[in-house]
Each structure stands twice: as C-alpha cells, then as structure tokens.
Chain A
C-alpha cells in the first residue's frame, strides 16, 4: 500500500511539473502585460524600466528557471498588476469558490442520489421518465443560459433572490443551483445505472430472500455498493467546480478563483495565472489520489489487490 501511495505521489508531482511548464510557456505566447500596464503613449524608456522591474527583460529560459526554483521555495511571486503576493490574491478568492463549490456539490448530491435511486427502483414509471427528462435537460442546458433565466425569474420577476454578487446565504442559492444542476443530472444518471446493476445482482436477491426490509436492501446493501463510481465522480466534480465555475462566477458576478484566473489571463498577469492553474491542478491531482485511496477503503477487493 505504501509503495503504491509513494508512486502515486511521485506521479502527481511529475504531472504538476508538466502542467506548470505548459502554463508558463503558453502564457508567454499570449502577449506582453506591459502593454496593459502602461498607457498606449508610454515611452520606450518607460517600457524598458517596467520590463526590467517585472523581470521580463530576461531570457525565457532564465525566467523559467527562476519560476520553478521559486515555486519549490514556496514563493509564487507577485502579481504583475498589483505587485501584491500572488498567494494573497488566491486566498482572497478561494473561500468564495470553495463556498460555491461545496453548496453546489451538496445540492447535486441531494438531488441526484435520491432521484437516481428512485428512478432505478421505479424503472419505466412516470417519475423515472420525469427524472430522465430532468437529467437530459440538466446536461444539455448551457450554464450561462440557465443562470440568466434563473436570474430573470427569481431575481427580476419574483424578486425572491438577489440577481448577483456575493453576500448572505440568499446570494448562494441561484449560482449554486446553476452550477449544481448539470452535475446533479449527471449524478442522477450515474446513480440510476449503478443502482440498476446492483439491484440485479445475486446478493440483493439473497438479501430480499432473507426477508430484509426493502428500505434496508435499497439504502444499506444496494446504495452502498452503487455509490463507488458516484463518489469518484463527485469528488472529481467538486475539484472541477473550483476552477471550472468561471461561467457561473461571471454570470452571477461571484468573486471566485475561476474569475480571477480568467481576468488574469485577459490582463496577462502571468504569476496569478500560473499559480491559479498550479493550485487547481494540485487540487485535481490530490482529488484523484484521494479517490484512489477512498476506493481502496470502500472496496476491499481493490485494497487486497494493491496490497
């Protein structure tokens, strides 16, 4: 088990190195930030001074070497735009993203799992059909459109909820639902198919023959085993929420990490883009690692095979 874990950690580190290298070189291809930091009529001398100040006058190889060394020393640099430490910017935005991601995830599971189980148990019924329509809609509706429609309905017409921005719990409902709807539909489908497979298995038939209560059969024996792929999917989705919620964050003016990275791309704020992508890839790879370990815990066969 330990050998496996160490191997996975090494793989993770290597993957991150590849990611940061790609991000470093790609951001340099996108244009020079000084053209946004200085007025269009700035002199050649002003440009040179700023280039030197930001270290952009050095060769690409030197910049890359310094960048990798500093990361290993825990220094992510300073924002090109604000000159404040990049970590400060990330920490400023991360809570909003985590908050939105967690509530969206909670809603997704709360909607997706029970509906998936119900749909599997009542396969072919009216509610199963309705749940499948719900899933298809959720997976085919563009997030920005859904977000705008929800804003119009609940914010403008009914005036139940705020139309955007971050504040109290009421500000969270619409963006979390928008973000969570797509995934709740996916979780519903996954739970449904996993439950159908499990419910047809011999041990469930045996449990029923033993005379166990149907609710115990479903929720204890059935769902517990059907949850394995759902858990994997949910964890990876949560990590994706952290970086991939940029559309939702933009539509709802939510000051999260995704929007920070997007804005930093448009302003060529290399250090923030690099650090943001690094944080997200670290979370993604850690999430992967966590899922692997969780798998081993939930499924003894995997644990024994790896051991």
Chain B
C-alpha cells in the first residue's frame, strides 16, 4: 500500500479532530457577564448560623449541599456526597464525601470534618438558620475517615436527606471550610466567604451588588459565563426597564407583570409550582392560652365552625384570583400543601370548593351568622411573594359580598412574625404562600402545623400531630404516600382552617444573552446558575 495514499487523509482527519477539540474547549470556557437584578439579597450573611434561608438565591451559586434533587424525578441525588446509606430505620445516616473536591482559593480539599463542622455550626445555640431545629436532632456525628461521616439520631429521621438538599428553596446547609472559618474567624469568613461551588466569591457591596466568578474545570459543572453579578434593585419597574435597556440579563419579577413582559416581547422563564397559596384563618389552637372561643371559624361547636370555614371557601372565586392577581401563573387546587403532580394529590383532593356565594351565605346563616361577622385581614408581603397583600385584598372583597365585615390591616412581616410565634392572631386572616421547602407536605406541617413546633401558621390538632408522628418515622416512601393521600389529605380537606387557593408558579424575565436554563420543578427562586447556556 502506498503510504502517501493514506497519510494525507489521516493528516486531514487529525486536523479536523484537533479543531473540533479546540472548538469544544473554547465553547466550555466561561465568557462574558451575566447580570441579575433581584429585589432583595436577604440578610446578606455568609455563615451557616447567620443566614436564615431567604438568602438562598444569592448564596446558591457558590455553595453546595451534600445532596440535590433529580430534576426529572425529584428523587434525592448525589452532590458533595457521592453516595449515602440510611440504616436503623432512619436513625443512622452515613454520607460518603466525594474525593478531590477543592475549596475555592486553594483552601484545601473538602473532608468529612468540614461537613461535621458545618452541621454543628447550624445547630448551635442562637443559630438563625431555618434548619437549626432539625440539625439539633442529631445525637452524634462520627468522622469514620476523611471522607465518611455518620450521623445518629435518637428517633428515625427518614427525610434528613431533604435537609441537606441543594434542590429545595431555603435548604441552606451549605458546606463550609472548617479551616477557613476557624482561621479567619466569623468576621473574616463573612468578608471573604469560601465554598466549593461552580462560582467563587469576588465582591460584596452590601445592599448593592454581589459578584462571583466562574470556577474553571469545576468538578460538577463549569459555568458558561465568566462572571455572575447580582444587583439589588428593589423597584420592579426599574428592574423591568433595566432588562429592556440591556443593563441586566435576568430579573426577578412577580406574576402580575407577566402580561406586560409579554407585551414588550421579553422572554420569561417559568418556574412551575413553587409555592402553595392559601388564606390562613388564625385561632386554631384550642389548647393554648391565646385561643379565643368567640372566633366563628374556631369556636368550640365543631359543626358550626366547619360551616363557617366552608362558607369562607365557597365565597371566594379562586380562579379569578389566580388569573387577575397572579397573571394566570398557578393552578387552583383544593388540597392542602399539595402540588398537581404529587403522588399523594388524588383527584378528589385536588378538586377545589366551587365559587358559590349564595350557598356560602346560606351556610353562614346556618352557622348562626345571618348578618355575617367582623374579622381582620392582615395584608403582609413576604420576600419573593409581593402579591400576597393583593390576594388578601381580593379575598376580603369576596367575603364582604356575603356580609362579612373585613377590616384591612397592612402590617409588616417582622411585626406579624412575632404573632406567628406567640399564636397571637386569633380571629385574624391572612394570605400566605408556603414555598416548597420540603417535598412532602407533612414536613412543612412539622414546622408550622404541629403542637410541638415553635410557631403556628394555621393549625394545631391532636389528629394532625398523630399523622405527623407516624409519617416522621415511616421509612417506606410508598407507605408515606399512602398515608398522605388516603388519611392526612382527606382529614386536612375537612378540617384545615383556611381557604385553599392552589399552587403558584413564578417567572423571571430574561434578556437576549440567556440561552437555556434548566430548572428543578418546584424549586422557588433562581438556581442552577452553572447550567445557563449562552444564547447563540
């Protein structure tokens, strides 16, 4: 065979291959800046015992958790822990930490000691972290070797994986460098935070901007953009204008702006089913000193109270609220803290009360309130859920149509948070949207609808405690689904003291630089920054 006959094609093929590899290398190299305008940075803290949870959006680019959620199935998936083992019916959790993961700035390799240090910091007295109560349930933490950590609990903690999970909002058990925090002290570590994520810290000007830079050749995903800049722009109209002017590439915006965004041709990113919207009817804590038996929906006569609650549900046109207030971004549902695709959300549970003011009025009369009664609707906005006062106002207007006299009380979140804790809002209603902080509804109730919880968002009842206690120690997911679908769900539909409106979506405005942005279903707030592609 004449060597010249095959050398030429070989050289051409090799050159093509080299060009393709080089092109691929270039495509993977981070370039440009992605600027994001958000309404708030939360409390702007960087250490696990100092941040609360609302910082999730701006912390998630640089920090990582042990686990995450599979974007397709929602199941637990590895992150900093490459695998994990649950034993003893949920009392023992062993995490096998991924080898070779480096902290930013040459702060060394991640080890089980860093994980133990982070968890102990979250759990310490005075910790602000929203997960502190759960982490205090850890009885012991044993570092078996530099990459293996075993946690032991007194009682089974079957969903602990959801507390160390990157794929949920406010899941802020972000792993910190023990060495960095101990050598820099809290003050230094707050000024120069260090983590393992695909973005590293560059600058933080409080109340103004946070700047990150891509970590090249990151173990998990190298970002497509070189820089990620968060700017704090509290005014939504300014955020809209900045996006349209090309000053920013991504904006946080409420559903009420959906039509406007469409009209001006701005692309949007839909984050489906990220929070659960309802009206809380305060006062359902019969065993507490703040219980007021005169509150119509919580009175000792269970049947009359039930009729009042159903009347308050029938009086509200939920579909209209979803369309007009939330810009159509949501699904009306009758079940409590359940999302349309959840396996425990049966068709019967999903069915909402129809809008029937005539029947509502009749039920009120049957309950002994032919002329209605007086009540207060708190109008309180929560971070990322600026639409809540409008929802409260709409519901108050519907209630007035059946003869209820509703006093509106605009009240600040900080003031009302104290009422939540003290269970001091008997007879007061308010619109609230629970973000999906845990995949299973009983986990949310464990924090806020449980007699032993620190606060009460709407209900305390021995029957509900019983469900929660059973679910908390049930290791079988199938059995938990059954209990939630066949027992707890129907009970909540009957007794839940509130007006169920449904699941709400969220949107973001996107500029021309932004390409594909895969999001985890149900994750409130921006995330997956490292997977955003550059538009071609």
What is the interface of chain A, defined by CB distance below 8 A to chain B?
30-33, 35-46, 49-50, 53, 81-84, 89, 92-93, 148, 151-152, 155-156, 159, 162-166, 250-253, 255, 259-260, 263, 266-268
Contact = CB atoms under 8 A, between A and B. Distances in A.
A151 B238 contact: yes
B208 A166 contact: yes
A36 B245 contact: no
Contacts of A45: 125
Contact of B247 (A43, A84, A164): A164
A295 to B, nearest CB: 38
Given A36-B413, A255-B207, A82 B45 contact: yes
Contacts of B129: 39
Given A35-B421, A40-B454, 13 more contacts: A36-B43, A40-B130, A41-B453, A53-B126, A81-B45, A83-B186, A151-B238, A162-B245, A163-B245, A164-B247, A251-B238, A255-B208, A267-B43
B238 A148 contact: yes
A62 B232 CA distance: 36
B126 A46 contact: yes
Contacts, number: 138
B448 A163 contact: no
Given A31-B414, A41-B133, A165-B231, A46 B127 contact: yes
A39 B125 contact: no
A116 to B, nearest CB: 32
A56 to B, nearest CB: 13
Considering residues A40, A42, A266, which has the most beta carbons from chain B within 10 angstroms of its beta carbon? A40
Interface in B169-204: 186-187, 190
Interface in B400-454: 412-415, 417-418, 420-421, 447-448, 453-454
Contacts of B455: 40-41
Contact of A162 (B44, B127, B247): B247
B238 A253 contact: yes
A41 B247 contact: no
A50 B49 CA distance: 12
Contact of B244 (A41, A46, A156, A268): A156
Contact of A31 (B207, B209, B247, B415): B415
A246 to B, nearest CB: 11
Contacts of B347: none
A182 B151 CA distance: 64
B493 to A, nearest CB: 25
Given A32-B414, A35-B414, A37-B128, A255 B241 contact: no
A307 B421 CA distance: 64
Given A92-B206, A165-B247, A40 B420 contact: yes
B52 interface: yes
Contacts of B417: 35-36, 40
**What 4 A-B pairs have minimum CB-CB distances, sorted nearest first?**
A49-B126, A39-B130, A255-B208, A163-B245
Given A40-B420, A159-B245, A162-B245, A252 B238 contact: yes
B132 interface: yes
A32 B421 CA distance: 13
Q: Which residue among B126, B205, B237, B412 has the maximum number of chain A CB atoms within 10 Å of its CB?
A: B126
Contacts of A30: 412
Given A159-B246, A163-B241, A250 B126 contact: no
Contacts of B186: 83
Contacts of A156: 241, 244-245
A235 to B, nearest CB: 28
A83 to B, nearest CB: 8
B241 A164 contact: yes
Contacts of A255: 205, 207-209, 232
Interface in B227-275: 231-235, 237-238, 241-242, 244-247
Given A38-B52, A252-B238, A31 B126 contact: no
Interface string B444-479: 000110000111000000000000000000000000
Nearest to A96: B208
Nearest to B186: A83
8 contacts: A35-B417, A39-B128, A39-B129, A50-B128, A81-B44, A163-B247, A253-B242, A263-B207
A83 B132 CA distance: 20
Contacts of B454: 40-44
Given A39-B53, A155-B242, A89 B206 contact: yes
Nearest to A255: B208
B159 to A, nearest CB: 16
Contacts of A39: 52-53, 128-130, 132
Given A36-B43, A40-B417, A164 B233 contact: yes
A79 B164 CA distance: 30
B238 A164 contact: yes
Contact of B241 (A84, A152, A268): A152
A43 B133 contact: yes
Contacts of B245: 151, 155-156, 159, 162-163
Contacts of A159: 245-246
A28 to B, nearest CB: 13
Interface string B124-153: 011111101100000000000000000000
Given A39-B52, A39-B53, A81-B44, A31 B238 contact: no
B210 to A, nearest CB: 12
A163 B209 CA distance: 16
A173 B448 CA distance: 49
B126 A50 contact: yes
A152 B247 CA distance: 13
A92 B447 CA distance: 39
Contacts of A92: 205-206
B126 A41 contact: no
B419 to A, nearest CB: 10
A82 B193 CA distance: 14
Contacts of B187: 83-84
Contact of B235 (A38, A152, A166, A250): A250
Contacts of A164: 233, 238, 241-242, 247
Contacts of B208: 166, 255
Contacts of B206: 82, 89, 92
A44 B45 CA distance: 22
A41 B414 contact: no
B242 A37 contact: no
Contact of B421 (A40, A50, A162): A40
A46 B234 CA distance: 30
B235 A37 contact: no
B252 to A, nearest CB: 13
Contact of A260 (B127, B128, B207, B234): B207
Nearest to B130: A39
A266 B411 CA distance: 12
Nearest to A147: B238
A268 B238 CA distance: 25
Given A39-B130, A41-B454, A49-B125, A163 B242 contact: yes
B448 A41 contact: yes
A81 B129 CA distance: 14
B132 A46 contact: yes
A50 to B, nearest CB: 6
B207 A259 contact: yes
B98 to A, nearest CB: 29
Contacts of B234: 250, 253, 259
Contacts of A42: 128, 132, 454
